[in-house]
Amino acid sequence: MESRILDALKDRALELGPTPDASGTYRNFKLTRDADGVAWLLFDRTDASANTLSEEVLLEFDMVLTALEAQRPTGIVVRSAKPSGFIAGADINEFRGSDPVAIEAQIARAHAVVDRFETLKIPTVAVIHGFCLGGGLEIALACQMRIAIDGARFGFPEVMLGLHPGLGGTARFTHLVSPLQAMPMMLTGKTIDARKAKAMGLVDAVTEERHVRNAVKEAVFGRLKRAKPSPLIPLFNFSPVRGFLASRMVAEAAKQAPREHYPAPYALIDLWEKHGGDRAAMLKAEQGSFARLMVTTTAQNLIRVFFLREAMKKIAGGDNNIKHVHVIGAGAMGGDIAAWCAHQGMRVTLADMKPEPLAGAIKRAADLYAKIIRKRTDQRDTLDRLIPDMDGEGVRGADLIIEAVPEKLDLKQKVYAGLEPRMKPDAILATNTSSIPLQDLRTSLARPERLLGLHFFNPVSRLQLVEVVSHDGVDQDMLKRATAFVGAIDRLPLPVKSSPGFLVNRALTPYMLEAMMLLDEKVEKETIDAAAEQFGMPMGPIELADQVGLDICMAVGDMLRSKFGDLLPPTPAWLREKVNRGELGKKTGKGFYVWKDGKAEKSSAAAATARPSQEMIDRLVLPISNVCVACLREGIVDDADIVDGAMIFGTGYAPFRGGPLNYARSRGPDNVAATLRALADKFGDRFAPDPGWETFT
């Protein structure tokens, strides 16, 4: 698809040739005119691989508009010269700051350029391929017509950054498309494809790249059958109806994002409820609302998280040469790792000693593909890449072998003894162990240098982090290849040195074991979960333990306690009894909660009356920060920012807090250390602050 777009753009440039207005005057745009007098404005930001809107770009766009007004072309076509897509959004760094008045003035200047473009007395057409997001979609909405190349995707992801659209999108979208469709898109940040965009009236036509020229002619000369806005839009934007719909939207938003932690959805609803009936007033009010959100701690932290993700993507590098992955163990983790790798285009062989786990893994994979892959043929092709392998013959041709058998040292070493002689000389052996040090695992290997860790998190299809675990004898080239592989399967690598629990499980275990201590103190499980959720965790530690599996929690807890002793809470005897009875959580249908249809059955009355104390919240969350500081001090990880990213992308740690170390900074390291000392005096040495707090800033 990308090559076809590039070829088409090059052909058009050759066909049209440079014109006086395209002689190099513009840094980020290329302006040409065809035989019909139509001006083709190609957006091609020179300093980036994707088009984004900065203040410089918008000022230059304003210069282009001045030239176009003087030239009076038959029509104006706006499209991207980047193969990745139209415009990825605004350059969010340019709108950051602490002064809402200054930010609002900056936004007002940007609005003036977009408003000027919208009011041109010349037919304007956006031709959209690839991603059209945020500010890019707002530019497209300012065009009179929109033509999408099949495969394009549209969305407003600003809510993920603690914001709402700020370049006129809130008003233009809710007056072009039914607010019942427009508002949920902006409130959730979800993207839609070109066909869905056409159905809702966001785009006027969907075509293939080879038909773009004819589609543009049809549009410019008034022959395009344009999308008709729903006649119900004025009704939905009528004040009493807006009030009723807004109250429903607030109730839905509250189920997903508490107002005190995530103000953006509520600000958007309020903006539409107050001004949705008056497009001009909503355009004006949007500027102030956006500026006020931009200075919130939530927005600043979520924007930081966005850049942390980008930084972790860069760690992966490129040049992946892993084509065939062999996974050993078709249980919940191994099967899901195999399914994800096949989804990302890898050839995958999945081995297990019994047919039942293999059958279960294939079924789970088919269910996953049905949810995330639109075309049936693509679902089929993906399943074809996932090959059950009872005999383990895939080992011989695999570039990467991932071992995902239960957390038992002797079992893993037995597996290695059987497969090592059959591996290709340059094949990588990776373990998915969640806690066993690689120094222990490597002792039985003939070539220990090719053992490393690739620790995925459950559920594999949703959690983006993979810990890439090294040891002092690892082959650095294989480590580099494994890190590139993580990026190639659309995951974020975290380089960690081998140690008990690595980073994430070492930090998460005290959180979950402290919850068990609170249960021992007869605190209701709903209250414990409410404490974590009040802090901002996506789920409480009791529900999380059920999700992970109580047997796994116990095994990891036992192993880490054997290494760290009294720095961890003890595993209660009643938890062992629960595991022995087979009450392992979600996977057996019963743990602390009863699970039905993949969800925990909770007492709504108990949850409603839960009143967790600040001390309870501190007991749960401060040990996470304490372990992260310890891992930095010990050199397990070497970058505090990446630690924050890892805990967010690997565990769901409250994103609006910016990560456990960022939370400690915002609260004050001295305050955190003092609180830990007070907890240690009251509850024991497991809360003792790590020496790393003395130098942490």
Quick one: residue 305, left, alpha or beta (phi over 0 = left, psi -120 to 50 = alpha)? alpha
Instruction: Report the distance separating Cα 44 and Cα 61, nearest Å.
Output: 12
Contact 429, 442 (CB under 8 A): no
Looking up tokens 């679902």 gives 379
Concatenate the DSSP letters of all residues of 414-442 into one string: HHHHHHGGGS-TT-EEEE--SS--HHHHG
Measure the CA–CA gap between 510 and 502, rounded to whole angstroms. Answer: 14
Comparing CA positions, the residue from 19, 57, 64 lying closest to residue 37 is: 19
Residues contacting 167, CB < 8 A, separation 6+: 53, 90, 107, 110, 111, 114, 135, 138, 139
Contact between residue 42 and residue 33 where contact means Cβ atoms under 8 Å apart: no
Whose CA is closest to 401, among 437, 455, 349, 355? 349
Q: Which residues are catalytic?
A: 455
**Are the CB atoms for 483 and 477 separated by under 8 Å?**
no
Contact (Cβ atoms closer than 8 angstroms) between residue 619 and residue 518: yes
Asked if residue 593 lies in contact with residue 488, where contact means CB atoms within 8 angstroms, the answer is no
Distance between CA atoms of residues 607 and 598, nearest Å: 19
CA atoms within 13 A on the CB side of 285: 19
Phi then psi dihedrals of residue 372, to 5 deg = -110, -10
User: β-strands 29-33, 451-456: how paired?
Assistant: unpaired
Strand 29-33 to 38-43 pairing: antiparallel
State the Cα–Cα distance between residues 294 and 557, nearest whole angstrom: 41
Answer positive or negative: Cα dihedral of 355, 356, 361, 365.
positive
Distance from the first to the final alpha carbon of the chain = 47
Instruction: State how far the Cα of 555 lies from the Cα of 562, in Å rounded to an integer.
Output: 11
Spatial neighbors of 676 by CB under 8 A, at least 6 apart, are 622, 626, 687, 688, 689, 693
Q: Please check whether residue 315 is in contact with residue 493, taking contact to mean a CB–CB distance below 8 angstroms.
A: yes
